[in-house]
Structure 1
Amino acid sequence: MRALRTVVLAGVAVATLAVSTGVALADPSSTPPVTAIVATGSDTIQFLADQWSTDYNATSPTNPFYSWDAVNPTTGATGDTIETKNDSNCSIARPNGSGAGIAQLEAKLQNTAKTEYCVDLARASRNIKSSDGTGITSVVFAKDLITYSIYNGGNGVTNLTDTDLTAIYSCNASLISSSYTDAPVTWNEVGGTSTAAVIPVLPQASSGTRQQWLTDIGSPTLGTCVVNGANSSGGVIEENEGTNAEFTSTGNPTGYKNVLFPFSGGSYVCQADTGKCPNATGSLKLEDIDSKAPLTSANVINVSGLTAFPSTYIRSLFLVSLNAGTAASPSIPTSPINLRALLGNGDKSGWICGKNGTSTTAATDITNYGFVVASNCGTLTGQ
């Protein structure tokens, strides 16, 4: 199958850009006070949230904003202990991913004096769903997309269809054609030349990108050929991480040329083009779905216009808070911390949506970190 465009970005130029523009700092430099607004959760938007912390706090807000990354930014450890706010009761296992961030928010852990919550927000690269529980609301702020990536120079193809992707993660080629067998899909069955089997890979279970991707490709029953969140050494596979051993000749010498892995378009741009995020794309490159390119010629995610990426794979990005209203009429809390200066209340009055046009800092950050400002920024979804 012929691709209209393949995304490959020059490593030397990217490295230079990363030095000149700087990479977002990670984790609070000191333990936040109990009166701070604290977020945990999604890997996809963690570096944007780090930048927001710097820029929002420069306005001297009553309640400053801090964000803890999904994994330890120094050691790469998952689930290590963090003290989200300056109170011993706020020591928790670091939430890794959208689902884990939302679960921590739902736990409603409070400081020793029971005056504040230890976590006020969850970063989420998917919207809330019924299995997350009740009493929460999501605030949309940006658009992103998910596509598949393959090893640059490997056996992969540059364009796949919805049906191809469903079959690949079902490990069932007969879903593509009745002339194929119920067995893992091979590259020549989806337009390639190699008879090697595709190795579909997924990030760890709490990843919002993983959950959204599986929804996008029709929620298939995962086949046994799927590398499901951990590599052959038992190491966790994080979303948007092309440097994992699973994607290298050293860590996966018999399979690295055949991997297929979902990847956030915005995160890829941030890592490989703007240089605002640490570059962990490795040897992975983004590819087309249904003959539509994930990025424009200017290396911006392709989410609008007649040639936009298929809408199924375009997603919104969110901050999730507790719900001070109802499922039908959600509201952003004003107590114990007033979150409305940051989030608004179902409108564009909050800092992240530009304070009704008086501040564009947050929007500039969204663009710099690879995403597109949502036209409905600030809109609430409650449950």
Structure 2
Amino acid sequence: MNKKKIVAAAAAFGVAVSLIAVASPASAEPVANGPVVVGSDTLQDVLNALANGTTISGASVRSQANSLFAASFDATGSVTIQAKSNGPRFGRPNGSSDGVKALSRSIDGAPYTSATPGSPANVTITGQVDIARSSSGAAVNASGELLYIPFGRDALSYAHSGGDNAAFDNIDQATLKGLFECTITQVGGVTVVPVIPQSGSGTRKDFIAKIGATEASVLEVSEGGCVVVGQEHDTSHLADGSVFPANAVTAMSAAQWVAQNTGAGIDRRGAGVKIGSPVAGTSAVTGTGTSMVPNAAFYANTTWGRDTYIVVENARVTVGNAKYDPNLASVVSNAAQKLGNTQSALPGQAGSVKKKFGFLAPSTTTPFRAALAG
């Protein structure tokens, strides 16, 4: 298979969008009259909540682009999406890299081909995407066309279906590297099935980097290796639809794990699957069920903690620029109910909603610029 796509650019500025409730029998997804949001699976549930409106924080919170509504499209679903009225159908952007690439092609007008299998090739999508969700950052480029706005703090760990085998609960970094490079095959005397998220996933890119491996060293079964492909944060099924195997280990966002356990997000946990920790003595989360919360000590870890982002075109949120869009600038601002808000002291703030979905305040609120994705 055509392997791994690396995020070549991106930047994240806070964005909050409202999902317009328009659907036809042919599609449960909206056509927006405002900003279109695509990309990372890690951020999709919390973005959907902010877009559609939610009371999960104890008050009503809904992010709008002034009087316009926006559509936040899931990373998976139908092969193609139609983002805007009378717009073209194009392949669904699945993952951070794919989302940032779609935003980049919406800006520069070059042909876009999604990483989603079966997607139409080389579709012109100029003006069809306004915001990309990204679970990973990008190389800073002071004159880059993209702006990365810090959204929230996540942490990356792993989930496993190793049952009561305690050895699966604390697999260290070196062992994870060996498992995904196929140089180690067992944990606790049991053969492990390493599962990597799909191409185009920011979690995939981050996990490979954090365990000290490279895209070239993580060989999938189709490439002669031992690694099978999953859909990020889904521990019920693999990418091909088959059941998540026993004794498997896969990358897992701690924020996604919290949201799936508390009911804030879509529950995609397989039976008996648990979250582990590569840091001895420090769990990724604390509590159980609806009382589960992030473990701040794990999120603060310099290896496993990570900031997540919303990405927009810098020119469109820069006052005085000819391309300035007041509606887009509004929805990505740091006002109380907007996507750039990271405060969680009051229930009516977007930051409080993010916390319910397992995100803490990012390590910095300063956005940065980056080049368009290749």
Asked whether the 8 Å contact 2:66–2:327 carries over to 1, the reply is no
Instruction: Name the residue aligned to 1:216.
Output: 210
Contact 1:170/1:221, CA 8 A, preserved across alignment: no
User: Which of 281, 284, 297 is matched with 2:269 structurally?
Assistant: 281
Q: Distance in 2 between matches of 1:247 and 1:96?
A: 15
Conserved 8 A contact 2:150-2:340 = no
Note if 1:201 corresponds to 2:195. yes
Alignment CA distance shift 1:166-1:27 (3 Å): farther
Tell me the distance in 1 between the aligned counterparts of 2:64 and 2:147: 26
TM, length-normalised to structure 1 = 0.70
TM-aligned CA deviation for residue 352 of structure 1: 2.1
Task: Pick the aligned partner of 2:293 from 285, 288, 300.
Answer: 300
**Equivalent residue of 2:235, what SS?**
coil
Counterpart pick for 1:71 among 64, 76, 93 = 76
Cα RMSD (Å): 3.7
| 1:343-383 Cα distance to aligned partner (Å, 9 max, x none) | 12xx6688224498898431121012222132534x21112
CA contact (8 A) 1:343 1:350 kept: no
Read off the aligned partner of 1:63 and give its amino acid letter: L
Alignment correspondent of 1:238: 231
Matches within 5 A, 1:103-114: 103-108=101-106
Using the TM superposition, give the Cα deviation of residue 223 of structure 1 relative to its aligned residue in structure 2, in angstroms.
5.1
- How far is 1:198 from its partner? 2.3
Larger Rg: 1
Structure 1 residue aligned with 2:181, among 151, 154, 170?
Answer: 170
SS at match of 1:45: helix
Do 1:150 and 1:287's aligned partners in 2 also have CA atoms closer than 8 Å?
A: yes
Corresponding residue to 1:341 among 330, 350, 370: 330
Q: Does structure 2 conserve the Cα–Cα contact (< 8 Å) formed by 1:351 and 1:359?
A: no
- TM-score, length-normalised on structure 2? 0.71
Higher relative contact order (CA 8 A, sep 6+): 2
The residue correspondences of 1:8-19 to structure 2 (distance < 5 A) are none
Identity of counterpart residues, as a percentage?
23
**Counterpart for residue 381 of structure 1:** 368
Q: Which residue identity lines up with residue 64 of structure 1 in the other structure? A: F
Unpaired runs of at least 5, structure 1: 1-24, 173-183
From 152, 155, 165, the equivalent of 1:142 is 152
Write the distance in 2 (CA, Å) between the matches of 1:224 and 1:216. Answer: 13
Secondary structure of the residue that 1:372 maps to in structure 2? coil
Which letter does structure 1 place at the counterpart of 2:154?
D
Residue segments in structure 2 that go unaligned for 5+ positions in a row:
1-17, 24-29, 54-60, 110-123
User: 1:223–1:107: structure 2 CA closer, same or farther, 3 Å change rule?
Assistant: closer
Mapping of 1:61-140 within 5 angstroms? 61-72=66-77, 77=78, 80-88=79-87, 90-108=88-106, 117-129=127-139, 134-140=144-150
Query: 1:323 aligned to 2:314?
Result: yes
